[in-house]
């Protein structure tokens, strides 16, 4: 079947069962500055899953355009894409497992005609600490539909619990989630022992592919880490549209479904390389196809290539697509033409993409010209360098990617030590950090990595408090060690657990967004004009240093500060750490105190 056919069949099936069809929410979330992209069908519905009444009723269905930046490194295999459409159906406190699981089974086996013996199902194995038992109810339902025991599998919370943040432990307070039951399609390809001795639905060798997931969203995480019941028990089903189409075709390669046919043929014609010729070029084709499709939808949603937030992600996708196209031997602009076939094929389902075709072509062409010029200039400089190739200068002065330097050098038989180049870049960064530290020593207990990370978290926290509690919040004191951070701030009432949960959520979002932390030195008056935060009662010289989280001018937070800070908020989340508020209490009249950790 084609993508359009499966999408239409799904919507019609659930419409017949009393569901209201919702349009896809924009891929850039509306009115939610804390997250860059819509990454699942349930995301725009969170308030309703938490209990708010939905104007369209309690049974909803749609196809949602999604983007998952976190999957970008996975792209290249047979099944991962950054952009995808998620088919969703929701019960907002209406039907539950006994209705939803049989429906989805009927849809897959009757409407799509998927062979029953190629379907596998996973259920929750139970969680002692949470006191949530094994989901025998879901397993019994699958059994009652004729699924044999060897097609029903139990997994723990790492696999069969769903929340936007991951496992129960990873969820911040205020986040919703629950156990789930996933559906896998067995493509029957041979198991690759590199992924483990035996194959099973959650094995990553590529034989089993998850095509759907019914989440029983019935829990909310409390500020003290325990789990409470939501006012209603909801079902949140999400199915991968492209993956279902691949299953109907019985071909495990997602990049052979109809929407990729025209752009794939275009790349073949321009490169003279046949798709599937070998593992390496197949990977390259997939990256280019994926990235151009994502870029098409992003520009259609109003994003333009830039240096921050969505614009930065878009720029990276475009530039990577160009570099990969270059390795296929495509030396002339190709992105706009490839995007034109996407705007065509998605035109019926998403008229706004078709309507933006001109803008998409224009932005892609501009960015491709600019980046190809950088590549040409970098190459010229590289030629001039002869055998003494200086990858560091090429990167820092000409923006020429080091991987590309490596490749060109290799063509000339020169082996560059990339570790040495990377070490040089690190030393350069550390050098500027050390310089900053010497100039501004004040404030922190020490300048260990942990203390510096807490210092940046402190900036994020202050801004998040202002967003949640109001602009009257200002810093009244701070104390930062390698173990934790403490902030005193002006605010006249106890902060509620919900507000604290929201503050935590915002800080964690900013950590996940990987925002640069930038230092700027400027006249005090100018910093004041920009609205930079400063501590009440402190005096500052005529020239001050400010730190912005995000680029100055469009920063999430801006403070008078001597540093030091991490270079990017991503560092705060390294090793899976999350920002967590431990305590909120009165400090003095009209001043509250919060202690928080990254753990
Ligand atoms: N929200 C769940 C997921 O993304 C199901 O829709 O898998």
In the structure, how many helices (H) and strands (E) does the chain have? Answer: 18, 16
Q: How far is the CA of 493 from the centre of ligand 1 (A)?
A: 37
Residue 87 CA to ligand 1 center (angstroms) comes to 9
For range 114-123, the mean pLDDT:
98
Give the model's confidence band at 390: pLDDT under 50 very low, under 70 low, under 90 confident, else very high: confident
Share of the chain residues as helix, strand and coil, in percent rounded to the nearest 5: 45, 20, 35
Span 463-491, mean pLDDT? Answer: 89
349-360 burial: b if 16+ Cβ within 10 Å, else e: bbeebbebbeeb
Residues recorded for the chain? 599
pLDDT, tens digit (0-9, with 9 covering 90-100), for 132-186: 999 999 999 999 999 999 999 999 999 999 998 889 988 888 889 999 999 999 9
Beta pairing partners, 549: 517, 557
Q: For position 162, what pLDDT does the model report?
A: 95
Atom of ligand 1 nearest to the CA of 86: 6
40 lines ligand 1 (CB under 6 A): yes
The token pair at 418 is 């990339």
CB of 212 shorter than 6 A to ligand 1: no
Say if residue 436's pLDDT is above 70: no
Cβ of residue 177 lying under 6 Å from some atom of ligand 1: no
Give the end-to-end CA distance of the chain in Å, rounded to a whole number: 47
In the CATH scheme, what architecture does the domain 3-255 have? 2-Layer Sandwich (3.30)
Give the C-alpha separation, 320 to 203, whole Å: 29
pLDDT in tens, 324-342: 999 899 999 999 999 999 9
Q: Residue 40 CA: which ligand 1 atom is closest?
A: 4
Please tell me the residue having the least CA distance from ligand 1 atom 6. 238
Best residue among 91, 171, 236, 237 to mutate for probing ligand 1's pocket (most ligand atoms within 8 Å of CB) is: 236
- The whole-number pLDDT of residue 441 equals 31
| CB 43 near ligand 1, within 6 Å | no
**Residue ID of nearest Cα to ligand 1 atom 5:** 238
Residue 196 near residue 163, CB atoms below 8 Å: no
Token pair of 302 as six digits:
């109003």
**For 229-272, what is each residue's pLDDT tens digit?**
999 999 999 999 999 999 999 999 999 999 999 999 999 999 99
Decide: 216 and 180 in contact? Cβ < 8 Å.
Answer: yes
Q: Out of 71, 85, 162, give the residue to mutate to test ligand 1, the one with the largest number of ligand atoms within 8 Å of its CB.
A: 162
Task: Mean pLDDT check: name the lowest of 291-295, 426-430, 520-524.
Answer: 426-430
Contact 491, 522 (CB under 8 A): no
- Span 35-60, average pLDDT: 93
CA dihedral of residues 197, 198, 200, 202 (deg, nearest 10): 0
Ligand 1 centroid from CA 237, angstroms: 6
d(CA 219, CA 49): 10
Predicted local distance difference test score (pLDDT) of residue 266: 98
Substitution candidate for ligand 1 out of 10, 41, 211 with most atoms within 8 A of CB: 41
236 Cβ below 6 A of ligand 1? yes
Q: What is the pLDDT of residue 340?
A: 97
Domain boundaries, the chain: 3-255, 274-346+353-385, 449-598
The answer to whether the bond into 564 is cis (omega within 30° of 0) is yes
pLDDT at 443: 47
Is 4:348 a contact under the CB 8 Å cutoff?
A: yes
Instruction: State mean pLDDT over 566-591.
Output: 91
What is the per-residue pLDDT for 419? Answer: 74
Residue 438 has pLDDT above 60, yes or no: no
Among 319, 270, 272, smallest CA distance to 291 is for 319
Residue 67 confidence (pLDDT) = 94
Model confidence over 402-413: pLDDT tens digits? 778 887 887 777
Q: What is the pLDDT of residue 32?
A: 65
Ligand 1 probe mutation, 238, 239, 241, 244, most atoms within 8 A of CB: 238
Q: Which atom of ligand 1 is nearest to the CA of 214?
A: 5
Mean pLDDT of the chain: 90
Residue 432 has pLDDT above 60, yes or no: no
Which of 22, 60, 213 to mutate for ligand 1's pocket (most ligand atoms within 8 Å of CB)?
213
Q: Considering only CA atoms, which residue is closest to atom 3 of ligand 1?
A: 238
Note the pLDDT tens digit of each residue in 497-553.
999 999 999 999 999 999 999 888 777 777 887 888 876 555 666 677 788 999 877
- At residue 434, the pLDDT reads 43
* pLDDT (average), residues 111-123: 98
CATH class, 449-598 region: alpha beta
Residue closest via CA to ligand 1's atom 2 equals 238
How many of the other CB atoms lie within 10 Å of CB of 54?
16
Q: How far is the CA of 230 from the centre of ligand 1 (A)?
A: 18
């Amino acid at each position: 079947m084609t993508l359009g056919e499966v999408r239409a069949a799904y919507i019609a099936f659930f419409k017949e069962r009393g569901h209201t069809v919702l349009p896809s929410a924009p891929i850039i979330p509306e009115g939610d500055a804390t997250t860059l992209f819509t990454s699942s069908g349930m995301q725009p519905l969170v308030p309703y899953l938490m209990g708010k009444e939905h104007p369209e009723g309690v049974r909803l269905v749609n196809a949602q355009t999604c983007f998952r930046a976190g999957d970008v490194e996975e792209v290249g295999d047979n099944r991962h894409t950054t952009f995808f459409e998620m088919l969703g159906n929701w019960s907002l406190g209406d039907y539950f497992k006994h209705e939803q699981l049989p429906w989805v089974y009927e849809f897959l086996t009757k409407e799509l005609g998927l062979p029953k013996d190629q379907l596998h199902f996973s259920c929750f194995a139970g969680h002692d600490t949470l006191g949530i038992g094994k989901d025998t109810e879901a397993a019994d339902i699958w059994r009652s539909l004729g699924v044999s025991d060897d097609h029903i599998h139990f997994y723990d919370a790492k696999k069969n619990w769903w929340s936007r943040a991951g496992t129960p432990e990873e969820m911040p307070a205020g986040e919703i989630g629950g156990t789930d039951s996933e559906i896998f399609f067995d493509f029957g390809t041979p198991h690759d022992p590199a992924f483990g001795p035996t194959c099973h639905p959650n094995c990553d060798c590529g034989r089993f592919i998850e095509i759907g997931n019914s989440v029983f969203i019935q829990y909310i995480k409390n500020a003290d880490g325990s789990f409470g019941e939501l006012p209603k028990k909801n079902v949140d089903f999400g199915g991968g549209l492209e993956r279902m189409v691949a299953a109907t075709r019985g071909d495990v390669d997602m990049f052979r479904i109809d929407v990729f046919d025209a752009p794939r043929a275009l790349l073949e014609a321009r490169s003279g390389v046949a798709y599937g010729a070998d593992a390496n070029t197949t990977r390259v084709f997939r990256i280019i196809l994926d990235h151009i499709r994502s870029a098409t939808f992003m520009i259609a949603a109003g994003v333009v290539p830039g240096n921050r937030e969505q614009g930065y992600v878009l720029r990276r996708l475009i530039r990577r697509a160009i570099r990969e196209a270059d390795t296929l031997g495509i030396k002339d602009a190709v992105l706009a033409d490839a995007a034109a076939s996407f705007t065509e094929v998605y035109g019926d389902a998403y008229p706004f993409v078709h309507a933006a075709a001109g803008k998409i072509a224009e932005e892609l062409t501009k960015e491709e010209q600019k980046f190809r010029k950088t590549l040409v200039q970098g190459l010229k400089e590289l030629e001039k360098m002869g055998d003494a190739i200086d990858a560091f200068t090429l990167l820092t002065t000409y923006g020429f990617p080091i991987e590309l330097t490596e490749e060109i050098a290799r063509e000339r038989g020169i082996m560059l030590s990339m570790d040495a180049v990377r070490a040089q870049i690190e030393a350069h960064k550390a050098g500027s950090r050390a310089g900053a530290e010497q100039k501004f020593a004040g404030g922190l207990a020490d300048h260990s990595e942990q203390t510096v990370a807490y210092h940046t978290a402190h900036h994020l926290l202050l801004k998040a408090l202002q967003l949640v509690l109001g602009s009257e919040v200002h810093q009244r004191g701070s104390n930062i060690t390698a173990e934790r951070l403490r902030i005193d701030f002006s605010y006249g009432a106890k902060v509620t657990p919900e507000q604290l949960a929201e503050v935590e959520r915002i800080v964690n979002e900013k950590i996940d967004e990987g925002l640069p932390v930038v230092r700027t030195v400027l006249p005090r008056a100018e910093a004041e004009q920009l609205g930079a935060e400063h501590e009440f009662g402190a005096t500052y010289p005529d020239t001050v240093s400010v730190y912005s989280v995000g680029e100055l001018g469009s920063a999430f937070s801006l403070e008078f500060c001597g540093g030091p800070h991490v270079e990017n908020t991503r560092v705060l989340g390294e090793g899976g750490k999350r920002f967590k508020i431990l305590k909120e209490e009165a400090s003095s009249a009209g001043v509250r105190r919060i202690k928080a950790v990254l753990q």
